[in-house]
Amino acid sequence: MKSPSIPIRVPRPGFTLVEMLVVIAIIGVLIGMTLPALSAVRESARRSQCNMRLLKIGQAMEDYVSVYGALPAGTREPAGPIQNRPVGFHQSWTAQLLPYLEQPAAVAQLDYAMSVYDPRNAKVRRYSMADFVCPSAPDLGNVAWPASSYAGSHHDREAPIDADNNGLLFRNSAVRYDQITDGRAYTLLVGEKRPDSNDLGWLSGTRATLRNAGQDLSVVSASTPIAAAPSATHVGGFGSHHSGAVLFLLADGSVRPLGTDTDPQRLQLLANRADGELISWPDP
């Protein structure tokens, strides 16, 4: 009689607990190595988009000049100096560029004869203008009015915004190209800025849309906290949400980065439209 065969159990291949933990650890390391690279790629794309928005503002400035013969006023206000308070006319250069930024609805609803703080202009003032926002800027939930990431250059040093400033956009200014005697390619027109909690919004011709070169760029860099203005007439400088650089639109329509380690004196020379000094562009 044939004896019954005994089935042979062949062990199935599988992971031990130790092997699984090793695989998980390797995956974690790979993810940790990949995330910074992905973050850098995203920031590079955001910076490129920010560059394009400044170029668009530059083209709008060019179109404005072709119609009026001069750059728009940095802010329209009968008396100066400008105070960082919601009192006054304060029509910013941003409002004057709306017809050239393909914003017909905003133009139709904005009453250019009234203060930007008038209730009739509240709807436009609450409108978030994508053309004036850097893609790298965080969502400022504590800001009452949608803010601009870009500010016109009104002076080469810290000073109140007034009619005697030596930049390109200041109180009741109307600077012609032939008045930029240092050369349009060597004069700052608009640069990045970081709004604080007291920002009066992208429509306001105060420090909300005007800044000066009286502050080292490294003081307001991507890693530093945003401080409110110490006084009503204090304006403050430029800064960005990009690491190591601030983007600037020049009077010739080009956009160039300035490193946060840029020499403060060189920055001041670039902000003055007619200082007569020879200057070369610093490396970004």
| pLDDT tens digits, 132-168 | 999 988 765 556 789 999 999 999 999 999 999 999 9
Residue at 13 is within a domain = no
Over residues 181-207, the pLDDT tens digits come to 999 999 999 999 998 888 999 999 999
CA distance linking residue 284 with residue 269, whole number of Å: 16
Contacts of 256 (CB under 8 A, 6+ apart): 247, 248, 250, 281, 284
Domain range holding 206? 50-271
Backbone angles phi, psi at 211, to 5 degrees: -145, 170
Band the pLDDT of 218: cuts 50, 70, 90: confident
Residue at 281 is within a domain = no
Q: pTM to 2 decimals? A: 0.84
pLDDT at 174 over 80: yes
In the chain, the number of structural domains is 1
Residue of higher predicted confidence among 225 and 155: 155
Residue at 26 is within a domain = no
Residue at 7 is within a domain = no
Residue at 24 is within a domain = no
CA distance linking residue 73 with residue 220, whole number of Å: 26
Q: Residue 243's pLDDT is what?
A: 84
Residue at 6 is within a domain = no
CA distance linking residue 76 with residue 284, whole number of Å: 34
pLDDT at 242 over 80: yes
Residue at 108 is within a domain = yes
For residue 136, give the nearest of 192, 189, 94, 98 by alpha carbon: 192
Residue at 23 is within a domain = no
